[in-house]
Amino acid sequence: MAVTYDDELATDRDRVRFNLHDTVSGSGPQPDSGNFTDNEIAGIISLEGSWQKAVASGFEVLAAAWRRYTDTQVGPRREMYHLIANGYAKDAERWRDRYGDTGGGTFSSAWVTRVDAYSDDISAGET
């Protein structure tokens, strides 16, 4: 699983890695400190049609990966993974607003907000 990066940003892959902060092998932005592979980035660029849209897609993938983790607290230590997921989702939204969507492609996603039955922030009958 090759992970290559050149800080001269000469290739689309390097530009994607730079913007996702995925530039150091073994210290990537994924929850396990993993990196996107060169093949994954090449595939995303191909599917999305530009490196800018690939960055948005990368942020969407990261948001989904971090959403899998539950916030935890043990004593005074608190880990709030939802903030990381939300941050990546907002980054993806900003990049999509600026550079566009793929028009329903593979990496498009819908964001869902969970609301319990007792919340005051939704009106009756709203889903």
Domain boundaries, the chain: 12-99
- Given a cut of 70, is residue 63 above it in pLDDT? yes
Ordered alpha helix ranges (H), 1-127: 12-20, 38-48, 51-67, 81-99
Burial-class residue 98 by CB neighbours within 10 Å (0-12, 13-18, 19+). Answer: exposed
pTM for the structure as a whole: 0.78
Q: For strand 77-79 and strand 72-74, is the pairing parallel, antiparallel, or unpaired?
A: antiparallel
Specify the pLDDT at position 112. Answer: 47
Select the more confidently predicted residue: 118 or 12.
Answer: 12
pLDDT digits (tens, 9 = 90+) for 71-118: 999 999 999 999 999 999 999 999 999 999 876 544 444 444 545 555
Specify the pLDDT at position 121. Answer: 54
Average pLDDT over residues 31-60: 97
Contacts of 41 (CB under 8 A, 6+ apart): 13, 16, 17, 54, 58
Specify the pLDDT at position 1. Answer: 73
Specify the pLDDT at position 126. Answer: 53
Percent above pLDDT 90 for the chain:
73
Specify the pLDDT at position 4. Answer: 96
